[in-house]
Amino acid sequence: MLRKRSRLIAAPIAAVALTLTIAGYQASASGSSPSGGADRSGKVSEATGPCLADATTLIGDLDGDGHPDKISNPGHTGTKMTIQWGAADGSFGEKHAVSALLGAKKGEVATAAVADFRNDGTLDMVVNIVEPADGDDASTARVAEYRPGPLARTDLSSADARHSDIGDQGEAQQLRIANYGDDPYPDLAILNNPGDGQLDRDVRLSTAGSGPGDYDYATQEKYGEFGSTAEPPAMPGDGWKHFYKPCS
């Protein structure tokens, strides 16, 4: 009976902990409690940026309104990502599929990766939209962009968006956060289908002020991996954990 009871109360406790963290995120972002700890209202105010609610859920301000949003990325692949926009009271709205927000058409696959790629305190997004080819030759992406935050709620657009070459090298099937440079700048791992049965792990390193860079042969040789559809390359599954702490 005691074991069953502990399981029943675990979920409510976790929900309360996350709510307190969100309150702290807001207090810190607004500068209401610069010393950290708890403010006079009893809200936790130690969180100063994005944090992990769990291994596949990032809490952080994506649209720049000062309220943390919830970004869920099942399987870390970037193909089933959803966003719940945050409100002033710390709650989250309904789930929005990133593919729908990006305007993916029927038959297209939308893939996304979210992180503070420039380490400037703002969450960014890399997006790729492609219609997979039927034959051996890979399709070129219709949209392949690095979008520095903040992003618009309606379509995830960015005033500073720029083209990314990830859509020029093949069909990006997955976009994952990685830590190859062992620095504060999240990197990008792409499960890339260049055609002819090949399936590779391509890499884009991020740098200060620029976000993910373009293809580099030396970087690919050092961090990438070549595989096939029968034997796909290993992909990182804990990229967020290298850059963000658990919400607590």
Cβ atoms within 10 A of the Cβ of 90, count? 18
The closest alpha carbon to 172, from 131, 223, 225, 116, belongs to 131
Token pair in block for residue 113: 């990766």
Taking only the tens place, the pLDDT of each residue in 76-111 is 999 999 999 999 999 999 999 999 999 999 999 999
Domain locations in the chain as residue ranges? 51-243
pLDDT confidence band for 48 (50 / 70 / 90): low
Q: What pLDDT band is residue 248 in, cutting at 50, 70 and 90?
A: confident
Confidence at residue 184, expressed as pLDDT on a 0 to 100 scale: 96
At a CB cut-off of 8 Å and minimum separation 6, what does 52 contact?
Answer: 58, 59, 240, 241, 244, 245, 246, 247
Asked if 98 and 110 count as a contact pair (C-beta separation under 8 A), the reply is yes
Q: Are 124 and 114 in contact (CB under 8 A)?
A: yes
* Helix, strand or coil, per DSSP, at residue 116: coil
Q: Report yes or no: 223 and 200 within 8 Å, Cβ to Cβ.
A: no
When the pLDDT of each residue in the chain is averaged and rounded to a whole number, the result is 85
Prediction pTM value: 0.83
| Interval 209-242: pLDDT, tens | 899 999 999 999 999 999 999 999 999 999 999 9
